[in-house]
Amino acid sequence: MRHIIDLSDLTEKEFSDLYKLTNNIIDRPEGYTDACRGKVLGSLFYEPSTRTNLSFSTAMMRLGGSVVGFSDPGSSSTAKGETLKDTINMVSSYADLIVMRNPREGAAKAASLYSSVPVINAGDGGHLHPTQTLTDMVTILRLRGSADNMKIGLCGDLKYGRTVHSLLHFLERYHNVEFYLIAPDALKLPSYMITFLKEHNMPYCEVGSIDAVLPELDVLYMTRIQRERFVSAQEYANLEGNYQLTAEKMRRAKKDMLVLHPLPRVDEIAQDVDDDPRAVYFRQARFGMFGRMALLLTLSKLPFVRAVHQEIGARGLRCSNHKCITKTELYLPPLSGMAGGRCPYCDAPLEKAE
């Protein structure tokens, strides 16, 4: 474990140690107030964020460390045309850890190639968001005891919702989990994620409404429609307001079902659900801060290693995803079909370069 691009980068043992540490911090936070004294977190947010940004900063401060960085790329040298490579090269010579959110898919992986300190992916476009998955897993494990033997509904924007993609990747390691994918046609799970479910024998069923499956579910993972990733405003307007959870609907759900949401919520969960004890999304956000404390503490103990510029593969192929980091950072190592024809940065299919 060095860079956290996807939570599935962690072995079972590494994740179980991280979860144990998270629990210890939740139960005895006063024991960790100096655990990262003298350490500096470089926090690079190229995209808006409230919870992820603030919870990482708070996590570092609660460990006695400090934070430098930006939450608006307009105030960094990116606005002057600096490459991601140069920014990461610099920041990794100032800070002990880097957390980065970027709208380009595969950006965290690209950054990790040029960093001498651990890089944590805080969201790369619609691709992955591993520390949200850590947050989700801590919530499910603490409140349910286990992530095995459950029926989980994932509802809303399954196309652009990176939290859903990351969570599905990680749940692959649990047993007897059934997935209900609840989304309108325009926001269905991307085909590369469906392939992932099939390849890993993860039973799934695509359904068109919450009502169809609600009484079956043990966990309902709600998401908002990602307005900022829509190409057309009209397309967004047509879908906003669909797939809403209300107190009325909750009457048909199991007594111990958990409602999770990575937040921010727009109107997909009505305000009248908030007082229901099964609605755990605000507790979830707090667990996220403790999970991030455990992650920062664990990674901060790793030694500084000068970045080696690795070759990712052979020439002659390009990524088919126009949002991929390889489309803007043209110096990145060439792509190969090694990973089963998938882009090693963003997982989209590779195609022959002209």
Which residues are near ligand NCD by CB under 6 A?
51-52, 123, 129, 132, 162-163, 223-224, 226, 262-263
Q: How far is the CB of 286 from ligand NCD (least distance, A)?
A: 12
Q: How far is the CB of 210 from ligand NCD (least distance, A)?
A: 17
In the chain, how long is the greatest CA-to-CA distance?
Answer: 59
Query: Among residues 102 and 163, whose Cβ is nearest to ligand NCD?
Result: 163
Q: How far is the CB of 261 from ligand NCD (least distance, A)?
A: 8
Query: Among residues 42 and 156, whose Cβ is nearest to ligand NCD?
Result: 156
Query: Among residues 286 and 318, whose Cβ is nearest to ligand NCD?
Result: 286
Query: Among residues 113 and 260, whose Cβ is nearest to ligand NCD?
Result: 260
In whole angstroms, give the CA distance from residue 23 to residue 25. 5
Beta bridge partners, 66, equal: 40
Q: How far is the CB of 142 from ligand NCD (least distance, A)?
A: 18
Quick one: how far is CA 170 from the chain centroid? 11
State which residue has the least CB distance to ligand NCD.
262
Angstrom CA distances, 333 to 9, 85, 111, 313, 327, stand at: 21, 12, 12, 7, 12
Q: How far is the CB of 303 from ligand NCD (least distance, A)?
A: 29
Q: How far is the CB of 260 from ligand NCD (least distance, A)?
A: 11
Q: How many residues does the chain have?
A: 354
Contact 66, 37 (CB under 8 A): no
Query: Among residues 260 and 332, whose Cβ is nearest to ligand NCD?
Result: 260
Spell out the alpha helix ranges (H) of 313-354. Answer: none
Query: Among residues 202 and 266, whose Cβ is nearest to ligand NCD?
Result: 266
In whole angstroms, give the CA distance from residue 35 to residue 60. 9
Which phi and psi angles does 14 have, rounded to 5°? -60, -40
**Tokens representing residue 111 in the block:** 């950054």
Q: Amino acid identity of 26?
A: I
Q: Amino acid identity of 171?
A: L
Query: Among residues 69 and 262, whose Cβ is nearest to ligand NCD?
Result: 262
Q: How far is the CB of 302 from ligand NCD (least distance, A)?
A: 24
In whole angstroms, give the CA distance from residue 29 to residue 62. 8
In whole angstroms, give the CA distance from residue 197 to residue 193. 6
Query: Among residues 116 and 244, whose Cβ is nearest to ligand NCD?
Result: 244
Burial class (CB in 10 A: 0-12, 13-18, 19+), 337: middle
Token look-up 């939740």 returns 26
Beta bridge partners, 150, equal: 177
In whole angstroms, give the CA distance from residue 303 to residue 118. 9
DSSP 131: H
